[in-house]
Amino acid sequence: MHAINIADLSILLVEPSKTQLKIIVNHLHDEGVDRIDGVATGSEALAKVHQYRPDLVISAMYLPDMTATELVERIKGGESSKDIPFMLISSETDFAVLDSIKQAGVVAILPKPFHKVDLQNALSATVQYIDPQEMELAHYDTENLRVLVVDDSALARKHISRVLTNLGIKHIQQAGDGLEALQIFGECQEQFDLIVTDYNMPEMDGQQLVNAIRQHLKNAFIPILMVTSEQNQARLNSVAKAGVSAICDKPFEPQTVKEMLFRVLEEA
């Protein structure tokens, strides 16, 4: 049972359209959320974040003075605000645009207009992120699990590592691309119980990393969880055939990661 619930959330809403602001506020009120502070620009949002720490920032993609991607990067770049969950509500569908904010580590991306259940799920994911519940695994002590997180985005690595830490995992090492990960893993395979990797990376992508581990290093046993915003089904099928244990979309809900970890570790 979580110590907080959706109604307890304090939300900073960044939306330049007064009409859209009112619509989103009404939806949040329907979910029992009353502590909502609305602003129209990224600069106003940053000023508010410095004044007090909201539980969640919800933003449109395009603001008068910056994009949501720039806003989330600046929020997560601050020492006191780096762990504030961020949610995007946008009608944007361009993969390249959305991928950049996914890499920054958002708890959810909702379309405009969004369905009631989508907002409920996103708010639940926020509560799980803020107040995580311990993961129970029949044969694993999560505090002693050793994980290698691989992603070329420093923000994405921090976000994934935080979610894993919230699930009780303490021993996490990071690599900036597949080549670095392969070097780290190849030097001492027994140091790791799990690899969590991105797909699209320079030098060596996620599929090449999986291939190298399964074929070159002949390690068919270590679980590999791929966390990616890739939408090309043919590429994802190719990754699955390479020997990845599970594929998780970006952005991901902590509960989804928990369930996938339970499955891939129990099957290992």
Residue keyed to tokens 């030098």: 203
Q: pLDDT for 85-140, tens place per residue?
A: 999 999 998 877 888 888 777 888 899 888 898 899 889 888 877 776 654 544 55
Class of domain 142-267: alpha beta
* Residue type (1 letter), 206: G
**With 90 as the cut, is the pLDDT of residue 2 above it?**
no
Pick the more confident residue, 23 or 255. 23
For the chain, the domains span 6-130, 142-267
**With 70 as the cut, is the pLDDT of residue 21 above it?**
yes
Answer CATH for 6-130 from 3.40.50.2300, 3.20.20.70, 3.40.50.970, 3.10.20.30: 3.40.50.2300
- Alpha-carbon distance of 63 to 16, in angstroms, equals 6
Task: Specify whether the CB–CB gap between 255 and 120 falls below 8 A.
Answer: no
Vertex 39: Cα angle to 42 and 103 (nearest 5): 40
The predicted pLDDT at position 3 comes to 59
Do 6-130 and 142-267 show the same overall fold? yes
Residue in 264, 36, 44, 74 with CA at minimum distance from that of residue 155: 74
